[in-house]
Amino acid sequence: MERPFGVGAFQFVVLASLRAVQLTRGCRPRIDGVHKHTVMAQLEVSQGKVMRDLAPFPDAAGRPAIRDTVAPDPLTPALVVV
């Protein structure tokens, strides 16, 4: 499985593990196929369907908000599902 350009091995593993948790919790996969959650997450990251969002975006009230996070912790990096 190939990593996208500019994504290091450690970052790939972290993104795939965060996405696997999301898939386990019930998020819809972004690619077709029948795979386990871990493999599905790796495929999504390798195809560029999931990437890391470094800056939280504001919600409707203008406060910083993070979407698609695995944990409610504001220090957890957000995953943006493309």
Distance between CA atoms of residues 66 and 3, nearest Å: 25
Query: How would residue 1 be classed by pLDDT, with cut points 50, 70 and 90?
Result: confident
Distance CA 9, CA 72 (A): 25
pLDDT tens per residue across span 26-38 = 888 999 999 999 9
Q: E strand or H helix at 41, and its extent?
A: helix 37-46
Predicted TM-score (pTM) above 0.75:
no
Hey, where are the domains in the chain?
9-81
Q: How confident is the model at residue 43 (pLDDT cuts 50, 70, 90)?
A: very high
For residues 47 and 53, the answer to whether their CB atoms sit within 8 Å is no
48: left (phi over 0), alpha (psi -120 to 50) or beta: left
Structural contact between residues 65 and 59, judged by C-beta atoms closer than 8 angstroms? yes
Amino acid at the residue 76: T
